[in-house]
């Protein structure tokens, strides 16, 4: 289903209409396999939701697939021509992309690395509290980043499309730019919070490899919050 979806970012461009149409069709169909995997993850947690409190790896994995589900709802929305015409070239698009990279992909990667490092080096993770702090920092940072840009994108689109009764544009391009400044500052703040979380992640891994306790029968998957 992913084969043609990327072209939904090229609606209303010189790309041939048949490519755009395929992108629209495949993007909408993508909801089925994507949400199939999301529900598979959620239903696998039946009777085990307490692990969201107790197991630091589960936090990353479940929130990661949650962002994946949101990502694969936004994608098909952007593949609808009327909606695409509204948000095309606005900050909504980078918000959508970064929800995937900073939320879905990164969360899964962090959990995978946290799981692998103790097994590869035969050492316990240096600090589970630091791993939990890392989780909350990147979650908050990514939400600030994405939500601020979603709002900015809708505002941007509205201002770009606003017209006076005589058919002229209500706002100049620079007026639209000025309105974006608060949202871009919020994005910068969210990115900074996320970066602090990433630094903590790297520090925790370094200390695990260099000074972590030798592994016991307790594996990384049994870590407690």
Q: Residue 222: is its pLDDT beyond 80?
A: no
Contacts of residues 124-128 at CB distance under 8 Å and 24 or more positions apart, as own/partner, are: 124/208, 124/212, 124/213, 124/214, 124/215, 124/216, 124/218, 125/204, 125/208, 125/212, 125/220, 125/223, 126/204, 126/205, 126/207, 126/208, 126/211, 126/212, 127/204, 127/207, 128/56, 128/223, 128/224, 128/225
171 occurs within a structural domain:
yes
The predicted model gives 81-98 an average pLDDT of 89
166 occurs within a structural domain:
yes
16 occurs within a structural domain:
no
Global pTM?
A: 0.86
56-72 pLDDT per residue, tens: 999 999 999 999 998 88
What is the count of structural domains for the chain?
A: 1
26 occurs within a structural domain:
no
DSSP code, position 215:
P
Q: Between 217 and 176, where is the model more confident?
A: 176
Domain housing 82: 49-222
Q: Between 3 and 50, where is the model more confident?
A: 50
Do the beta carbons of residue 156 and residue 180 sit within 8 Å?
A: yes
58 occurs within a structural domain:
yes
The predicted model gives 180-209 an average pLDDT of 96
**Average model confidence (pLDDT) across the chain:** 90
65 occurs within a structural domain:
yes
Distance in angstroms (rounded) separating the CA atoms of residues 198 and 102:
11
The reported pLDDT for the residue numbered 201 is: 97
15 occurs within a structural domain:
no
The predicted model gives 199-224 an average pLDDT of 77
CATH number at residue 58: 1.20.210.10
41 occurs within a structural domain:
no
76: confidence class by pLDDT, cuts 50, 70, 90? confident
133-174 pLDDT per residue, tens: 999 999 999 999 999 999 999 999 999 999 999 999 999 999
Q: 11 — alpha (psi -120 to 50), left (phi > 0) or beta?
A: beta
Angle at 87 between CA 92 and CA 97, to 5 degrees: 35
The reported pLDDT for the residue numbered 220 is: 43
The predicted model gives 91-100 an average pLDDT of 90
Contacts of 220 (CB under 8 A, 6+ apart): 57, 114, 115, 117, 118, 119, 125
């Amino acid at each position: 289903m992913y084969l043609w979806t990327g072209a939904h970012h090229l609606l209303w461009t010189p790309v041939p209409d048949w490519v755009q149409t395929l992108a629209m069709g495949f993007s909408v169909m993508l909801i089925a396999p994507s949400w199939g995997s999301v529900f598979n993850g959620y239903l696998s947690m039946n009777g085990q939701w307490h692990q969201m409190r107790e197991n630091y790896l589960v936090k990353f994995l479940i929130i990661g697939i949650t962002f994946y589900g949101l990502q694969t709802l936004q994608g098909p929305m952007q593949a609808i021509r009327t909606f695409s015409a509204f948000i095309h070239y606005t900050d909504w698009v980078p918000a959508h992309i970064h929800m995937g990279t900073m939320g879905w992909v990164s969360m899964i990667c962090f959990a995978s690395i946290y799981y692998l490092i103790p097994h590869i080096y035969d050492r316990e993770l240096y600090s589970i509290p630091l791993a939990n702090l890392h989780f909350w920092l990147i979650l908050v940072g990514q939400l600030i980043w994405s939500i601020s840009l979603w709002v900015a994108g809708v505002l941007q689109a509205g201002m770009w499309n606003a017209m006076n009764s005589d058919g002229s544009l209500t706002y100049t391009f620079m007026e639209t730019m000025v309105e974006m400044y608060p949202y871009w500052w919020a994005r910068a703040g969210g990115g900074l919070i996320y970066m602090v979380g990433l630094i903590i992640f790297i520090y925790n891994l370094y200390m695990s490899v260099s000074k972590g306790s030798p592994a016991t029968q307790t594996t990384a998957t049994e870590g407690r919050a």
